[in-house]
C-alpha cells in the first residue's frame, strides 16, 4: 500500500500557490496562506514561523475542501468568514459586501473631518452611516472613538444581522443604533433616532448596471448586487446629498466613497445642494475615492 505524503506548511503553501496561479486565481499566495492559516489556526506570519510544521491528514482534507471553493471563485473572505478592516476583525458572508482597504480611507477622512486622528478621539459627535452593510464603518468609528453616538442604517435586514454581530464582536453594540430603512423612502428621515447629525458617512452602491458584466467573477457571482449597483450608479449619491441637507447640523459634514469616475459629478451635485469646502481624495492607486463637504449655514 502506498504511503500518503506528509506535507509541511511551507511546501504545501508553495504547491497550492503555484496551482492557484496556474488556474488564474486572484491573489494566489494570499489565498493559500489565509486558507491554510484558517485550517490550522495560524496567522499568515505564524505560518512562516512554523514553516516545518506537519499538516495532518484531517487538516489537509479540510484545506483541500476550502481550496475547491476558492477554485470555484468564492472569495476567500467568505470561505473563512472573516475580514480585517482598520485592524479590527469582521464576520462576513454573502449577505454583505466584503470590506475593502479603500473604505478605510473613508473612515480616516471622516474622523479627520471631526478633528480626530485615525486612531481615536474624544468627540461626542452624532454620526449617521447610511448603507452600513457589514457595519465596518460604524463599528470602526465607535471602537476608535467611544464617545461618538452612531446610527447605522441599511435597507437589508440580512445585512443588519451581520452588522449587529460585528458590533457585538468588537464590543460596541451598546453604542450603535441599528435601523432598517431605505434611503429612497420619503419617510427615511422620520425613522431616524436623531433629528440632526454632525457627520453623515456612506459607502453606497455606485457601480452602474452597465458595468456589471465587466466585474471580476468573485464579485458578480458571490457579493450582494444590492450593495454594489444601481441603474445609473448615481442614484444613491443624489438621494443622500438631498437628504443630508435636512439631516446635518449647520456646518455638518458629509463623506462618501466614490466611483473612480464620479468625483466631478458628485462635486457638482454637492455644490448645487449647498455644500462647500468640497474635497476629493485619491486612493493608493491614484483614483478619486473619497469626497467630503460641509453644509453651509443657512441651507
At residue 123, the pLDDT reads: 64
The pLDDT tens digits for 199-234 are 999 999 999 999 999 999 999 999 999 999 999 999
Distance CA 272, CA 279 (A): 15
Residues 114 and 53 in one domain: no
DSSP character at residue 231: S
Residues 227 and 119 in one domain: yes
Distance CA 295, CA 4 (A): 67
Residues 168 and 105 in one domain: yes
Residues 52 and 105 in one domain: no
List phi, psi (to 5°) of 116.
-115, 160
In terms of phi and psi (left: phi > 0; alpha: psi -120 to 50; beta: otherwise), the region of 78 is alpha
Predicted confidence band at 1 (pLDDT cuts at 50, 70, 90)?
very low
High-pLDDT (> 90) share of the chain, %: 89
Predicted confidence band at 4 (pLDDT cuts at 50, 70, 90)?
low
Residues 132 and 203 in one domain: yes
Residues 151 and 67 in one domain: no
Dihedral, CA atoms, 259, 131, 242, 120, nearest 10 degrees? -90
Residues 187 and 281 in one domain: yes
Predicted confidence band at 120 (pLDDT cuts at 50, 70, 90)?
very low
Question: For 251-270, what is the mean pLDDT?
Answer: 95
Residue 273, domain member (yes or no): yes
Distance CA 68, CA 124 (A): 47
At residue 115, the pLDDT reads: 79
Average pLDDT, the chain: 93
Distance CA 106, CA 148 (A): 17
Residues 63 and 14 in one domain: yes
Q: Which CATH number fits the domain that encloses residue 44?
A: 1.10.8.10
At residue 114, the pLDDT reads: 82
Residues 102 and 223 in one domain: yes
At residue 118, the pLDDT reads: 47
79 in Cβ contact with 69 (< 8 Å): yes
The pLDDT tens digits for 7-50 are 999 999 999 999 999 999 999 999 999 999 999 999 999 999 99
Question: For 64-75, what is the mean pLDDT?
Answer: 97
At residue 3, the pLDDT reads: 47
Q: Which residues of 223-259 are buried (b: 16+ CB within 10 A; e: fewer)?
A: bbebbbbbeebbbbbbbbbebbbebbbeebbbbbbbb
Write down the pTM of the prediction: 0.92
At residue 299, the pLDDT reads: 56
At residue 2, the pLDDT reads: 42
Residue 88, domain member (yes or no): no
In terms of phi and psi (left: phi > 0; alpha: psi -120 to 50; beta: otherwise), the region of 133 is left
Total of domains in the chain? 2
Q: Which residues of 7-38 are buried (b: 16+ CB within 10 A; e: fewer)?
A: bebeebbeebbeebeeeebeebbebbbbbbbb
* Domain that includes residue 171, residue range: 93-295
252 in Cβ contact with 246 (< 8 Å): no
The pLDDT tens digits for 99-110 are 999 999 999 999
121, pLDDT greater than 60 = no
DSSP character at residue 286: S
Residues 67 and 201 in one domain: no
At residue 296, the pLDDT reads: 80
122, pLDDT greater than 70 = no
Residues 207 and 240 in one domain: yes
The pLDDT tens digits for 170-184 are 999 999 999 999 999
Helix axes 9-22, 28-40, angle to 10 degrees: 140
Residue 86, domain member (yes or no): no
Residue 243, domain member (yes or no): yes
Residue 81, domain member (yes or no): no
Q: Which CATH number fits the domain that encloses residue 183?
A: 3.40.50.150
Residues 31 and 158 in one domain: no
**Residue that finishes a domain, picked among 72, 101, 121:** 72
Residue 27, domain member (yes or no): yes
Cell 495532518: give the residue.
56
Residue 84, domain member (yes or no): no
Residue 21, domain member (yes or no): yes
Amino acid at each position: 500500500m502506498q504511503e500518503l505524503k506528509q506535507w509541511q506548511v511551507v511546501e504545501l503553501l508553495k504547491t497550492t500557490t503555484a496551482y492557484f496561479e496556474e488556474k488564474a486565481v486572484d491573489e494566489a499566495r494570499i489565498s493559500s496562506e489565509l486558507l491554510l492559516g484558517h485550517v490550522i489556526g495560524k496567522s499568515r506570519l505564524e505560518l512562516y514561523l512554523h514553516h516545518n510544521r506537519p499538516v495532518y491528514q484531517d487538516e489537509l482534507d479540510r484545506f483541500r475542501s476550502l481550496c475547491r471553493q476558492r477554485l470555484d471563485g468564492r472569495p476567500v473572505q467568505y470561505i473563512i468568514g472573516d475580514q480585517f478592516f482598520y485592524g479590527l476583525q469582521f464576520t462576513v458572508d454573502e449577505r454583505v459586501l466584503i470590506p475593502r482597504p479603500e473604505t478605510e480611507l473613508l473612515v480616516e477622512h471622516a474622523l479627520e473631518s471631526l478633528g480626530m486622528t485615525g486612531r481615536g478621539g474624544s468627540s461626542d459627535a452624532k454620526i449617521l452611516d447610511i448603507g452600513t452593510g457589514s457595519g465596518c464603518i460604524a463599528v470602526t468609528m465607535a471602537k476608535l472613538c467611544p464617545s461618538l453616538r452612531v446610527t447605522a442604517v441599511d435597507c437589508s435586514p440580512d445585512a443588519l444581522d451581520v452588522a449587529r454581530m460585528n458590533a457585538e464582536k468588537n464590543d460596541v453594540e451598546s453604542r450603535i443604533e441599528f435601523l432598517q430603512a431605505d434611503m429612497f423612502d420619503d419617510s427615511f428621515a422620520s425613522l431616524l433616532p436623531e433629528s440632526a447629525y454632525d457627520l453623515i458617512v456612506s459607502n453606497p452602491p455606485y457601480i452602474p448596471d452597465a458595468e456589471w458584466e465587466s466585474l471580476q467573477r468573485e464579485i458578480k457571482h458571490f457579493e450582494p448586487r444590492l450593495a454594489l449597483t444601481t441603474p445609473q450608479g448615481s442614484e444613491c449619491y443624489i438621494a443622500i446629498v438631498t437628504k443630508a441637507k435636512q439631516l446635518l447640523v449647520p456646518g455638518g459634514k458629509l463623506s462618501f466613497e466614490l466611483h473612480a469616475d464620479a468625483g466631478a459629478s458628485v462635486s457638482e451635485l454637492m455644490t448645487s445642494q449647498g455644500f462647500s469646502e468640497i474635497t476629493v481624495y485619491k486612493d493608493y492607486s491614484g483614483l478619486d475615492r473619497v469626497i467630503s463637504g460641509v453644509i453651509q449655514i443657512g441651507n
